[in-house]
Copies of this chain bind each other. A is one copy, B any other.
Amino acid sequence: MFSRLFFLIVFVMLSFSVTATAQQQRFDSAEATDPNKLKWMQGFPPPADKIITHPESDFFSFPKLRWTVCHIRELLPTTLVSRGLSAPAPLPEKLDSEIDNITFKRLDNHRELTWKQSLTENYTDGILILHKGVIVYEEYAGCLNEERKHAAMSMTKSLTGLLAEILVAEGTLNAQATVASIVPELAESAFADATVRQVMDMTTGLDYSENYEDPNADIWIYSAASNPLPKPDTYTGPVGYYEYLQTVKKAGEHGKAFGYKTINSDVLGWIIARVSGSSVAQLLSAKIWKNIGAEQDAYMTIDSKGTPFAGGGLSAGLRDMARVGQLMLNEGTLNNERLFPQSVVEQIRKGGDKTAFSQANYRYLEGASYRSMWWVLHNKHQAFAARGVHGQTIYVDPTADMVIVRFASHPLAKNTHTDPTSLPAYQAVAEYLLSCCGKHQANVDAH
């Protein structure tokens, strides 16, 4: 039972996956796998074959995951990311139904799609477009609605990276310091002589495998360690994120190549907690959630020592993620208040080492880089993004004054499967908004 539990929990816990075989699979459509139509967890009690529960229940397999992404707190212990007690700051809205008809060509097979078609093709659960700070498009599907939260998956990393950049800008964190000088517990680990910047940009050299087909891969040990549920009496491995991170060995040199490894985010979470005196969840509340006029609290999964999963544990409302995107677009201001210095977003937008990045061979991200746990596209609009498996994104296009936020539950984890129907769609909407005028701002008080 326990190894199976580990296997399944890891799908929530980490950010890669899926075998070559799976990639060839055909999946039932978004409509056919709508979790409401499939009646997951409906009824008192739900029928036995409609119950999704703790990881043992295979809770992150498709199509179950289409329900699970909105219900993480019902499956695992979580910690609050408080919005505080004040009134939300409503986002101005002027919907533009023309957006549905915008067309673009898929990146893979070049088939033409409308924006509206793309939303079902890539299993979108919620999508919101801000233009000049005004909601011009907002749709929900699957398990999501405006009052619910959705797993942000690896977009969590970008918020962790943002917090680190804020601490750097405030002088609380030295990006050039070595990890061991801040977290001495990591002195014997691979991270010891890495700089904070290398961790933030994931250019650490780590002997760490996320190969799901290898039963001895490090990912399984990490997953077992971070599992917040009670461990079997026979378990002798590391307990919690921090204990595991201390065991990671070095491979190669730091600063040479980009390697997308979630453990960097959790080391960064540890660094943040140590220098700020607040966990990532607490700091995310204090620095962001309490100051953006959020409509909903957010939350994070935790390990059995209460450590939030800085690499992937966040669940939040779609509109609140849009507020974060607008805050990034505005380079630190929102609702006429400056929340952090402009240098924070400047640091992120300038991007990371493109050569280091290119070695990772992301099919649809040629010329991009990774900086402070944000994806910097270096495209003609200078877009940058938070991204998470199964299609999550905060996509910020400064040229078009546009933010797109998407929550999704694509059957396949890797964004290679979502990018063909999302990246060109975002660009097409951006061009539409750029060309169509300032009409969205006509009658509203845009921030």
- Chain A residues within CB distance 8 Å of chain B: 1, 5, 41, 44-46, 51, 53-56, 73-80, 82, 84-88, 146-147, 228-230, 232-233, 240, 242-243, 270, 273-274, 279, 295-297, 299, 302, 304-307
Chain B residues contacting A74 (CB-CB under 8 Å) are: 77-79, 302, 306
Bound Cα distance from A146 to B85, whole angstroms: 9
The reply to whether B274 and A44 contact each other, CB–CB distance below 8 Å, is yes
Chain B residues contacting A76 (CB-CB under 8 Å) are: 77
The reply to whether A44 and B307 contact each other, CB–CB distance below 8 Å, is yes
CB distance from A227 to the nearest CB of B (A): 10
Chain B residues contacting A302 (CB-CB under 8 Å) are: 74
Bound Cα distance from A56 to B228, whole angstroms: 12
Chain B's closest residue to A277 (CB) is B44
The winner among A45, A295, A302 for most chain B CB atoms within 10 A is A45
The reply to whether A44 and B242 contact each other, CB–CB distance below 8 Å, is yes
Chain B residues contacting A45 (CB-CB under 8 Å) are: 240, 242-243, 305, 307
The reply to whether A304 and B73 contact each other, CB–CB distance below 8 Å, is no
The reply to whether B87 and A233 contact each other, CB–CB distance below 8 Å, is no
Bound Cα distance from A45 to B305, whole angstroms: 7
Chain B residues contacting A86 (CB-CB under 8 Å) are: 88
Chain B's closest residue to A73 (CB) is B78
For the complex formed by this chain, how many copies does it contain in all?
A: 2
The reply to whether A279 and B147 contact each other, CB–CB distance below 8 Å, is no
- Given A45-B305, A146-B85, A56 contacting B274 (CB threshold 8 A): no
Bound Cα distance from A263 to B18, whole angstroms: 45
The reply to whether A230 and B54 contact each other, CB–CB distance below 8 Å, is yes
CB distance from A294 to the nearest CB of B (A): 10
Chain B residues contacting A274 (CB-CB under 8 Å) are: 44
Chain B residues contacting A228 (CB-CB under 8 Å) are: 53-54
Chain B residues contacting A73 (CB-CB under 8 Å) are: 73, 77-80, 299
The reply to whether B297 and A54 contact each other, CB–CB distance below 8 Å, is no
Bound Cα distance from A44 to B273, whole angstroms: 7
A selection of 10 A-B contacts at a CB cut-off of 8 Å is: A45-B243, A53-B305, A54-B77, A56-B230, A73-B78, A74-B306, A75-B77, A85-B295, A87-B88, A229-B229
Chain B residues contacting A307 (CB-CB under 8 Å) are: 44-45
- Given A54-B77, A78-B78, A295-B85, A1 contacting B147 (CB threshold 8 A): no
Chain B residues contacting A229 (CB-CB under 8 Å) are: 54, 229-230
Bound Cα distance from A53 to B228, whole angstroms: 8
Chain B residues contacting A233 (CB-CB under 8 Å) are: 1
Chain B residues contacting A232 (CB-CB under 8 Å) are: 1
One of B41, B87, B146, B243 near A306 (C-beta < 8 A):
B41
- Given A240-B45, A304-B54, A305-B46, A147 contacting B82 (CB threshold 8 A): yes
Chain B residues contacting A79 (CB-CB under 8 Å) are: 73-74
- Given A1-B233, A74-B79, A51 contacting B305 (CB threshold 8 A): yes
CB distance from A63 to the nearest CB of B (A): 18
Bound Cα distance from A45 to B302, whole angstroms: 12
* Across the A-B interface, the 9 shortest Cβ-Cβ residue pairs: A87-B87, A44-B273, A53-B304, A85-B295, A56-B230, A45-B305, A45-B242, A74-B79, A74-B77
Chain B residues contacting A306 (CB-CB under 8 Å) are: 41, 46, 51, 53, 74
CB distance from A187 to the nearest CB of B (A): 16
One of B146, B230, B279, B297 near A297 (C-beta < 8 A):
B297
Chain B's closest residue to A297 (CB) is B297
Chain B residues contacting A1 (CB-CB under 8 Å) are: 230, 232-233
- Given A77-B74, A78-B78, A5 contacting B230 (CB threshold 8 A): yes
CB distance from A277 to the nearest CB of B (A): 9
Bound Cα distance from A373 to B307, whole angstroms: 38
CB distance from A292 to the nearest CB of B (A): 14
Bound Cα distance from A146 to B78, whole angstroms: 20
Bound Cα distance from A299 to B77, whole angstroms: 12
Chain B's closest residue to A183 (CB) is B44
The reply to whether B305 and A147 contact each other, CB–CB distance below 8 Å, is no
The reply to whether A296 and B54 contact each other, CB–CB distance below 8 Å, is no
